[in-house]
Structure 1
């Protein structure tokens, strides 16, 4: 993993916290999934069940990225944050 990508990813994590407007839920799920794939890799464990709607949505979003490399997930995360910043 390149040092530059890692720095950009860490910077994007900080910048997303400072967005003037909270992103829609679907965008938040995408950010969550890309972050997890970029830091942990493929989803592990069992999908939350029952009435854990938030947990299930997060798991499904992350699972949808299965097989995506950590580097590519970090690039996509950085690009998504840049897009959100441009919308301010």
Structure 2
């Protein structure tokens, strides 16, 4: 399924769902930038899988004066049928 709908990009933070390397890795996603009350900033990204109708999203948050990134992933089965999926992330950032 790698590159099923176009090129496959490796590097940075890679999110893989619903099956193996995300088939839509090069496709646009829905995004939202947020400034939180505690001074942190978040980026929310989301998409609906075209093959199975499931939805995946991830929120990346950077906190002031903290040396880590927080990543929250959420998956939704928007169908009436059971769905299988794999989900993992490879954050490759300097520490």
TM-score relative to the length of structure 1: 0.21
TM-score, normalised relative to structure 2: 0.20
The structure that has the greater radius of gyration is 2
Q: Please state which structure has a larger fraction of its residues in helix.
A: 1
- Give the number of the structure whose residues are more often strand, by fraction: 2
Higher relative contact order (CA 8 A, sep 6+): 1
